[in-house]
Structure 1
Amino acid sequence: MSSFLALLNSEQVDEELLAAVARVAPVIASKFTPKSTTGYLLVEDASTDTNQIITHLDNGVVKAIVPLSLAKSLLGIVPAHRLLLLLDVANVSAVSDSVRNAVSGVLLKTSTLDMDLIQSVSRFFVGAAVYVLSPDPPSPSIMRKLAAIGASVVIPFSQLTLGSTSKNSISVADAFLAPIVSDRSDGLFPTVVSSDPHGQRTLGLVYSSRDSVSESIRTGKGVYHSRKHGLWRKGETSGATQDIVRIRLDCDSDALEFSVVQNGAGFCHLNRASCFGNLDGLAALERTLASCLVDAPEGSYTRRLFNDEELLRAKIMEEADELCRAKTKEEVAFEAADLIYFALTRCTAAGVSVKDIERSLDKKAMKISRRPGNSKPQWTSKAEPSQAESSRVEGSSKASFDRNAPIKMRTVEIAAVSLEERANLLKRPVLKSDEMIAKVKPIVDNVRARGDSALRELTAKFDKAQLDTPLLLPPFYPLAPEAQQIDPAVREAINVAYSNIYKFHAAQIDGAPLVVETMPGVTCTRFARPIARVGLYVPGGTAVLPSTALMLGVPAQVAGCEKIVIATPPRADGSISPEVLYVAHKVGAHAILRAGGAQAVAALAYGTETVPKVDKIFGPGNQWVTAAKMLVQNDTDALVSIDMPAGPSEVLVIADETCNPAFVAADLLSQAEHGIDSQVVLVASSLPEAMLAKVEEEVDTQARALARVGIVRESVAKSLIVKTQGPEAALEFSNDYAPEHLILHLRGASGWVNRVKNAGSVFVGPYSPESCGDYASGTNHTLPTNGYARQFSGVNTQSFQKHITSQEVTVDGLQVLGPIVATLADCEGLQAHANAVRIRLGV
């Protein structure tokens, strides 16, 4: 937080004072002017049009300071870090939790600096910035007291001076340095000097005094304190002067950072840019190109690029294309480096620095309102995916592509690859679980701490749905009107699917106890009990997924779970799709949680005021859902388990010369359309080249007829054809790969099932498409991905059961078993264990 903010309360402000203040503190202005483009906008009129505020934020205002009524209107529209709340002391109590969490701080207007009051406000706005606007100039000691309770002061420009602090004014340097402390006997402050144009490259470490900082603020030049010679005006003799961009305090106010534009040879006395070595990376490239622009010899390649705009343009387009086609991490890095070289050459020729680019990026990042971001017509020859489709497929790309380019998979001959290359073929895209868990943890913690209030706010933020309560209870279905609005054909399809899934899962129930007499008089038993409370996550929002509700709800119903809670994101009006409501009724769900993402997982794991806590969470979802499930299952306070790790959808098809190429292509595409990260593999078992070519032709033809062809084009490009010699080698590769779905297009396909060791679900023969298992054959479609089929089963009835063992020992049985137990207990030194037997045997 800044040590103070400066209020531009008059348009007639001394330019030297304004420049000095801008070096150390944000400037608040009530009008958006060139003087305040990097500052804060103060909006005191509650009738101000919110669109006008958003426009100011789009144009570069860092934060808007708005009254309570405007903050409510901007809730969920403007990010919290771009809003401050303008409050009088009297209306602090009127701030709701939703508003408090929608702003990054508060500007408090008060007639007196009442420390107890300010401290209570700071506690209410925990973790947020608290600024206080007082009519009287604060003294440095008052500012230090404010800093100690987590608050800063707003000082009108009329109370600031570049001279000495007096009764009616405070110097800018004294205001800036008020909270700083030094742990050195000489009172100096360690100071890090960074180069502003070069990505905050550290130039060196120096020391500052209050006098040197004051002169730097006033003059805008780098001035420090030499421990030998006193004030040190950098570059005074060498010419390597510095222009101050800004001066900042560190987080605990005992060190400074000077961001500067370094002139001359460099900061270091060795005529280097930095005391820590020469520039590297982009900074070094920028310096080299700037030098080449001036003195590159005629005939050199860089000079050709500077002189020949067409050559440079062609190289930029060529390298951009090669970057888009790169596959491996190394290839992407290599091609990106080439593209950056030519792009920076173009910038250098136009007088554009890396800092100019960074400023443009920062300006773009300030935008609240956003354009759709669709590519221009010349870079795409197909209509962009619809907004709904794009939102369904997380991470879907809108990169340009050539509609006429073939949609095809890459091919490898398994016998010709090395062991290392074979291992790489088995790898899936790496899920950066640690990074995702770090992202979802604040969401999970928020719901855990604030319950329904957090759920409502997060649902408004992510699903754009305003809810009075997140939980729906019976008898809202099937009697609710929306639950009846189902196409009769869809209703009948759900009924048939339900019947098949129920029949198959009912056959899996572990009913009769297992009873074994291990020795005379010793009977051991294992019996099953349903998991009492289960949470079923059904992805939703723009998508309608009654099939997932069936696949999770039916086995829970069959197992006899006491409480079934279905969590699914609501639509914008807060409703749930009637198809999902209908399934919820059929499987006997006890409640529907209208929430998605990490927030839904957190509510199920910990419970809220209305949402019951569950014992196990099931269901697929995006990487936010997966990360949240992984997080809560490892929290002993949650005491919740999950079904299995999840990842992108997968299919592996094994086909020989008996296959129908059209069927094989259709099976591959049925998974490829899930998303651009779908994993699709064709293992060609001695497949003739002509037939393999026919499969590839069918993939291209069928893909072009799909509505999601843009997604399919990307996923297929990453997909793989593996050529093997015969079904034995094909099954060996498949078992190593451990696919989610395995489809056998083989002669005598059913005879090969006994060779399958690792797979989520197997589809046998030409008339067993994977989509049957996804919807209605009876098997479950919630299956292990990412190779976890080596260790995990798909969801089944026993996933919703737990097993308990018991033993009953008779007197005669203990006579035989007891001495054995006592001997082993003595061996382990557990006397009480042995005594529990001996006391019964009377020995």
Structure 2
Amino acid sequence: MVAFLPLLDGQDETLLSTLSRIGPVIKPISSFDNTESDLSNSYILVDNNAPISHDDLISYLDRGADKVILSLTHASEVIGFLPSDRVLLLLDFANASAVSNKTRSAVSGVLLKSPSLELDFISSVSHFFAGSPVYVLSTSTIPPTSLTISELHSTGAVPVLPTSQLTLGSSSPSQLNIADAFLAPLRSDRPDGLFPTVVSSYTQGGRSLGLVYSSRQSITESVLSGKGVYHSRRHGLWKKGETSRATQDVIRIRLDCDTDSLEFSVVQHGAGFCHLNRPSCFGELSGLAALESTLKSRMNSAPEGSYTKKLFNDPDLLRSKIMEEADELCGALTKEQVAFEAADLLYFTLTRCIAAGVSLVDIERSLDAKARKISRRPGNAKAQWSSRSPSTTDLPLPAPSKLTQPSPPDPNATIRMRKYIAASLSPSERTQLLQRPVLKFGEMIAKVKPIVDYVRTLGDPALLELTAKFDKAQLDTTVTFAPFDPETIQLNDTVRAAIDVAYANIRKFHEAQARADTLVIETMPGVVCSRFARPIARVGLYVPGGTAVLPSTALMLGVPAQVAGCHEIVLATPPRPDGSISPEVMYVAHLVGASAVVKAGGAQAVAALAYGTQTVPKVDKIFGPGNQWVTAAKMLVQNDTYALVAIDMPAGPSEVLVIADQTCNPVYVAADLLSQAEHGVDSQVVLVAVNLPASILLEIESQVDAQARALERVEIIRQSVAKSIIVQVDNINAALAFSNDYAPEHLILHIEKAAAAVVHVQNAGSVFVGPFSPESCGDYASGTNHTLPTNGYARQFSGVNTHSFQKHITSQELTADGLKVLGPVVATLADCEGLQAHANAVRIRLDSL
């Protein structure tokens, strides 16, 4: 939070130095030398409609500018070109109503030029740009008063003050003291009027040094002097270090979001901040900050012959150790090994930095600068670090690092999989081949929880806002209810006919799974037990959007829900930018009898289905695949007793494992591998080659490259294939053993007597038997379901089926004679467990008999 934004219209260096401590400065492009290399802590104002190139804008941002401020004309030219969080919109009072929703979603706030500060109008602008900052620049030559600044903040707006209207001296009608402007929005809820102030170390990555209090007088002195000045509740004004010489240089002062407390980022001098002569009131340094402090001390005072001194004095040794530790980190397998090797590498790396006079702050500045760059390098590895040459790919696995972190594929290189010989792998290397990429669900759940909580708390307003943010669709309503408008399901006749055939086959297969009869078993005379199915009343079906339209997923989820007899079927899918849903998906929703279609994707859609909103019906179980955000949201809501919702299964990237022997058709094998590789860059593709002659294996590899280059999604395939593997085994038993250990989502058998091998398949989502059974048929229209377990969960889970949409209830009925026989058994067991009421419920009946 900033109290105000200065607009540079003068070159008073002392004034600018003071302003740099309290936030960024707006710099008109006419006010600075275009060769200026560092534009950090500044907003660049393009304040006219003169032509400006995209390269110029990128250059400003690459040189560290926080944002560029553009007129409506310029902003319309960069929509989709510059990140929205780096663009502010410049508006005149007269054209404030001319902003389209498209433009609003492409910027992160607005700078409003107004002849007067009309709070009602400014408040309405803030409401239109809800969630984004609104800065207000009065064209008056008289600066606003402190009261006006406070009132602006109450509307959600921040004033912009020309530097010509600011002064380091006393406030006057024509100039406002910088400290007075900074203090204007502050409000204390304490009886003594003081402000809690967190003091953090600028040189130690923001580490907290202590908690103090500030008064308006102390803040004024700190702002103007650049020194740490606080307010002691016992002694009054406290100039830090005045007696102890542990002074502070103030780098930045920030307000918190409620404008009732502050953070001082400082460079601490002397023994430290704490009165106990420690760096922090919260204890000694740790981690990287402690290591940096130790290395600085050792560089100056370590005795000759010590290891650290030797590293400082021997650049060749230090270089060798950095390269050695980097290689060991790449080869680490377990979490503990990675942490251990990374710690070693950081030690030697930081030693190199300290020797060169580089601090952690310098590194952090460089990281921040790189993060803010718009233009990017390709990121390919240099020649000496690139992946192995093709001639060596038939060799046994040389190091785990080549498996876990393959180099980015060269766009001009052959599209090829990595090859390994199973017999040459160690047990740990074989285990690593079976592993999928680590999905950090803890981190993902932490990311999606605020989204889920937002939708749960606000409902439709949150869903509309998040859909505008993530799906770039401005909607008036979140739900379309049945019956659906015929215009939304208009299809090409060929596509409609194809969907109809798929629907019929899928329905036929899933109807055969449904058992209408009740299971009745008399376990002993007079004791009859039964089991019967009932549909889950309300189900939510998530149909992903993103890189492909997926009516097939709508079929695979909707048909079994319809067959099972679910009373309410709610389908959720991301809308297109114009707010519509693809007619193919809408047609399937119509076919399966969906009661509503929710126009939302991602975690927000899952939350809406789980908790319900003002318009989205709450469901009892959520089905469907999705990316990590969707998967994490499903896992989060299923564990929330407030939601009371189940999910179908854990999900991960799509995957296929193909087993091929010398009877295979290389063209078919390559096509099957690619059909899965095109799903996404994280798709998992495995070929298990059973004693294949080199000529056939080479033909498969050649076909993968040739067929991939002819596909529109070749860039996705290029990345997924680069991470895919070929495992060469000696016989079919070894192939099936590897497959059962891998537990693939899809298993394709391109082998002699394929049908006979199915009996040996223990773990797979779905099996495709023989050369004329491509996985595509199961994905679309053969009748089986394509919503299948991934990530090895085929060991424990089945794919979605009719029973997935049902729950089974049991009942029992005992006659008097049956209770006479079974009752004593039950009473004995209840007594054994010490549950007297259970035994009594039986004995009281037996006594009556």
TM score, norm. by length of structure 1: 0.73
Residue identity in the other structure for 1:447: V
Q: Hey, what does 2:482 align to over in structure 1? A: 474
CA contact (8 A) 2:189 2:260 kept: yes
C-alpha distance in 2 between matches for 1:251 and 1:483 = 47
Deviation at 1:780, TM superposition (A): 0.7
Corresponding residue to 2:72 among 46, 50, 53: 50
C-alpha distance in 2 between matches for 1:234 and 1:659 = 81
C-alpha distance in 2 between matches for 1:31 and 1:135 = 25
After alignment, is 517-526 or 406-415 more displaced?
A: 406-415
Corresponding residue to 2:760 among 755, 763, 770: 755
Q: Hey, what does 1:553 align to over in structure 2? A: 558
Determine if the alignment matches structure 1 residue 449 to structure 2 residue 457. Answer: yes
C-alpha distance in 2 between matches for 1:768 and 1:834 = 59
Q: Hey, what does 2:572 align to over in structure 1? A: 567
**CA gap 1:638/1:181 in 2 versus in 1, 3 angstroms:** closer
**CA gap 1:773/1:336 in 2 versus in 1, 3 angstroms:** farther
Corresponding residue to 2:429 among 416, 421, 427: 421
C-alpha distance in 2 between matches for 1:590 and 1:765 = 40
1:136-535 → structure 2 map (5 Å cutoff): 136-137=145-146, 172=179, 192=199, 194-196=201-203, 199-200=205-206, 216-220=222-226, 244-248=250-254, 258-260=264-266, 276=285, 401-405=410-414, 407-414=416-423, 416-418=425-427, 420-476=428-484, 479-480=486-487, 482-486=488-492, 488-535=493-540
Encode CA deviations 1:341-377: one digit per residue, 9 max, x unaligned: 999999x99x99986886676577678xx77x79599
CA contact (8 A) 2:143 2:176 kept: no
Determine if the alignment matches structure 1 residue 727 to structure 2 residue 711. Answer: no
Deviation at 1:335, TM superposition (A): 12
RMSD (Å) for aligned C-alpha atoms: 5.8
**CA gap 1:514/1:58 in 2 versus in 1, 3 angstroms:** closer
Structure 1: state its 5+ residue gaps.
110-132, 290-295, 306-317, 381-396
**CA gap 1:549/1:287 in 2 versus in 1, 3 angstroms:** farther
Deviation at 1:638, TM superposition (A): 1.5
C-alpha distance in 1 between matches for 2:92 and 2:814 = 75
C-alpha distance in 1 between matches for 2:426 and 2:704 = 25
C-alpha distance in 2 between matches for 1:31 and 1:700 = 50
Per the alignment, in what secondary structure is the counterpart of residue 105 of structure 2?
coil
C-alpha distance in 2 between matches for 1:190 and 1:59 = 29
Residue identity in the other structure for 2:484: F
C-alpha distance in 2 between matches for 1:285 and 1:63 = 47
Deviation at 1:549, TM superposition (A): 1.4
CA contact (8 A) 1:564 1:588 kept: yes
Encode CA deviations 1:169-188: one digit per residue, 9 max, x unaligned: 8783996597689999xx99
C-alpha distance in 2 between matches for 1:615 and 1:699 = 43
Corresponding residue to 1:23 among 14, 18, 21: 21
C-alpha distance in 2 between matches for 1:250 and 1:7 = 16
CA contact (8 A) 1:43 1:66 kept: no
Q: Hey, what does 1:77 align to over in structure 2? A: 106
Per the alignment, in what secondary structure is the counterpart of residue 421 of structure 2?
strand
Corresponding residue to 2:784 among 779, 790, 808: 779
**CA gap 1:58/1:680 in 2 versus in 1, 3 angstroms:** closer
C-alpha distance in 1 between matches for 2:370 and 2:582 = 37
Deviation at 1:100, TM superposition (A): 6.5
CA contact (8 A) 2:744 2:794 kept: yes
CA contact (8 A) 1:741 1:760 kept: yes
Deviation at 1:630, TM superposition (A): 1.2
1:593-742 → structure 2 map (5 Å cutoff): 593-742=598-747
Encode CA deviations 1:406-447: one digit per residue, 9 max, x unaligned: 5232313246422x2222222111111122122222222222
Deviation at 1:9, TM superposition (A): 8.7
Share of identical aligned residues, percent? 56
Per the alignment, in what secondary structure is the counterpart of residue 561 of structure 1?
coil
Residue identity in the other structure for 1:640: V
Encode CA deviations 1:255-286: one digit per residue, 9 max, x unaligned: 976545689999999x9999848968899999
Deviation at 1:699, TM superposition (A): 2.5
CA contact (8 A) 2:123 2:155 kept: no
Residue identity in the other structure for 2:251: V
Structure 2: state its 5+ residue gaps.
34-38, 49-68, 300-309, 384-405
Deviation at 1:670, TM superposition (A): 1.7
Residue identity in the other structure for 1:437: I
Corresponding residue to 1:584 among 580, 586, 589: 589
C-alpha distance in 2 between matches for 1:489 and 1:431 = 40
Corresponding residue to 1:798 among 785, 803, 808: 803
**CA gap 1:533/1:735 in 2 versus in 1, 3 angstroms:** same
Deviation at 1:525, TM superposition (A): 0.6
**CA gap 1:322/1:63 in 2 versus in 1, 3 angstroms:** farther
Per the alignment, in what secondary structure is the counterpart of residue 606 of structure 2?
helix
Encode CA deviations 1:595-653: one digit per residue, 9 max, x unaligned: 21122212211222222221111111111111111111111121111111110011112
**CA gap 1:87/1:379 in 2 versus in 1, 3 angstroms:** farther
C-alpha distance in 2 between matches for 1:595 and 1:825 = 52
Encode CA deviations 1:295-339: one digit per residue, 9 max, x unaligned: x99x99789x9xxxxxxxxxxxx99x999x999898999999999
Query: Across the two proteins, how many residue pairs are aligned to each other?
Result: 768
Q: Hey, what does 1:112 align to over in structure 2? A: none
After alignment, is 429-438 or 331-340 more displaced?
A: 331-340
Deviation at 1:50, TM superposition (A): 3.3
CA contact (8 A) 1:602 1:632 kept: yes
C-alpha distance in 1 between matches for 2:362 and 2:112 = 26
After alignment, is 32-41 or 540-549 more displaced?
A: 32-41
CA contact (8 A) 1:66 1:84 kept: yes
Residue identity in the other structure for 1:821: V
C-alpha distance in 2 between matches for 1:146 and 1:96 = 10
**CA gap 1:560/1:791 in 2 versus in 1, 3 angstroms:** same
Per the alignment, in what secondary structure is the counterpart of residue 824 of structure 1?
helix
**CA gap 1:568/1:688 in 2 versus in 1, 3 angstroms:** same
CA contact (8 A) 2:666 2:696 kept: yes
CA contact (8 A) 2:541 2:622 kept: yes
After alignment, is 765-774 or 218-227 more displaced?
A: 218-227
C-alpha distance in 2 between matches for 1:664 and 1:48 = 54
Deviation at 1:200, TM superposition (A): 4.6
**CA gap 1:414/1:718 in 2 versus in 1, 3 angstroms:** farther
C-alpha distance in 2 between matches for 1:545 and 1:151 = 42
C-alpha distance in 2 between matches for 1:84 and 1:358 = 36
Deviation at 1:702, TM superposition (A): 2.7
CA contact (8 A) 2:506 2:556 kept: yes
Residue identity in the other structure for 2:201: S
CA contact (8 A) 1:374 1:398 kept: no
TM score, norm. by length of structure 2: 0.73
CA contact (8 A) 2:179 2:219 kept: no
C-alpha distance in 2 between matches for 1:334 and 1:603 = 43
